[in-house]
C-alpha cells in the first residue's frame, strides 16, 4: 500500500439533509464555509445535502416531488448578471 496518499486533516463535520432536516455528525476532510452549533453546544463545519438515504425514494420507497421551480429561480438569481450583460441582437 502506498504511503502518505490519504488526507490527514479529518475532523468532525455535520451533514444536513435539506429536504427533511436530518443531520448527522461524522469525520470528513471536505472544505466548507458554513458552520452549525450541534446538540452538544459545539460548533462544527456544516455540509448541506440535497438528498440522503433518509429522503431518497429508492431507500424510502416513496416518490417525492422536487421543487424544480425554486431551483430555476435560484439559478436565475445567481446568474442574473450574466443575463444582463448579454449583447443585444
Mean pLDDT in residue range 10-28: 91
Backbone Cα Rg of the chain: 19
| pLDDT at residue 64, rounded to an integer | 57
Phi, psi of 58 (to 5 degrees): -60, -40
**Predicted structure pTM score:** 0.60
| pLDDT at residue 29, rounded to an integer | 92
Domain spans of the chain, in order of start: 11-84
pLDDT tens digits along 1-12 = 788 888 888 999
Amino acid at each position: 500500500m502506498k504511503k502518505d496518499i490519504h488526507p490527514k486533516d479529518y475532523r468532525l463535520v455535520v451533514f444536513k439533509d435539506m429536504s427533511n432536516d436530518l443531520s448527522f455528525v461524522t469525520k470528513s476532510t471536505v472544505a466548507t464555509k458554513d458552520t452549525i452549533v450541534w446538540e452538544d453546544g459545539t460548533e462544527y463545519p456544516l455540509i448541506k445535502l440535497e438528498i440522503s438515504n433518509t429522503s431518497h425514494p429508492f431507500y424510502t420507497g416513496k416518490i417525492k416531488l422536487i421543487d424544480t421551480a425554486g431551483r430555476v429561480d435560484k439559478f436565475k438569481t445567481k446568474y442574473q448578471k450574466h443575463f444582463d450583460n448579454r449583447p443585444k441582437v
